Structure 1
């Protein structure tokens, strides 16, 4: 695997845990789980699903913009949702609003907890740069 480009939000956790927000290899971009962090790496909106989802998509857009790709080039996503039964409808509404007519392959997993107290959503992606934008 030839790594072409690595993207970071420049948050302390990236160094503390040892990960990248995204790695581009050939035509694929593998995006780590995005969540509701601000530019300083502070977790935002504990227990507020709608606000976390909005910030998560904003952080996703930062990654996509770095690579000059669009949402239409996302080929798959995995959504990790705390209390999925309660948040399923909001997850679907947010997903439809974010992707519009584009339909990436999706897996939605109900989980008991995520990294931060009050974190209720995290989403990872695979993007194909060869698809039309």
Structure 2
């Protein structure tokens, strides 16, 4: 098992296959004094308009940007995320577009435990990606 300590977080990865997706299989962190829960974020602009109906990579990038915006408004960033869940309607398309998410994680050196889940549909017709998160400090 490889455990790398990053500040006070112990990263737990008994295998290495997940590292290309830039997430840890588990993390042991001290109890946070604040927890931020982020509701599912999609490819929605500031006016509430759904964007990028036929572009899974663009939807993933905007959904992730919306998550990051809420984290910042809570005084946190992706390094504070303790759980990331990505819901998609097409697993193959999502895996092909996953670089849009990994790019944001790499920029901060964040490796939150993450789950990628295929669902039959999301709330808005044409929405292919929705991301929720839990963060703590």
Q: Which band: TM-score by shorter chain?
A: 0.7 to 0.9
Give TM-score scaled by structure 1 length.
0.72
Q: Which residue of 2 aligns with 1:14?
A: none
> Which residue of the other structure, out of 44, 55, 77, is the alignment partner of 2:51?
44
Residue pair 2:43, 2:50 contacting (<8 A) in 1 also: yes
3-state SS of 1:107 partner = strand
> Which residue of the other structure, out of 72, 78, 83, is the alignment partner of 2:90?
83
Q: Name segments (4+ residues, structure 1) moved above 3 Å.
A: none
Measured in 2, the distance between the counterparts of 1:114 and 1:88 equals: 17
> Which residue of the other structure, out of 86, 100, 103, is the alignment partner of 1:97?
103
Stretches of structure 2 lacking an aligned partner (at least 5 in a row):
1-31
Q: How does 1:1-133 map to 2 (within 5 A)?
A: 27-91=34-98, 93-100=99-106, 101-129=109-137
Measured in 2, the distance between the counterparts of 1:31 and 1:103 equals: 17
Residue pair 2:41, 2:131 contacting (<8 A) in 1 also: yes
**Cα RMSD over matched residues?**
1.6
Measured in 2, the distance between the counterparts of 1:86 and 1:35 equals: 16
Stretches of structure 1 lacking an aligned partner (at least 5 in a row):
1-24
Measured in 1, the distance between the counterparts of 2:93 and 2:39 equals: 25
Measured in 2, the distance between the counterparts of 1:61 and 1:55 equals: 10
* Number of residue pairs matched by the alignment: 104
1:83-131 Cα shifts (integer Å, max 9, x gaps): 102321322x1232111132111111011211111110000000012xx
Residue pair 2:87, 2:131 contacting (<8 A) in 1 also: yes
Measured in 2, the distance between the counterparts of 1:86 and 1:38 equals: 22
Shift of 1:58: 1.7
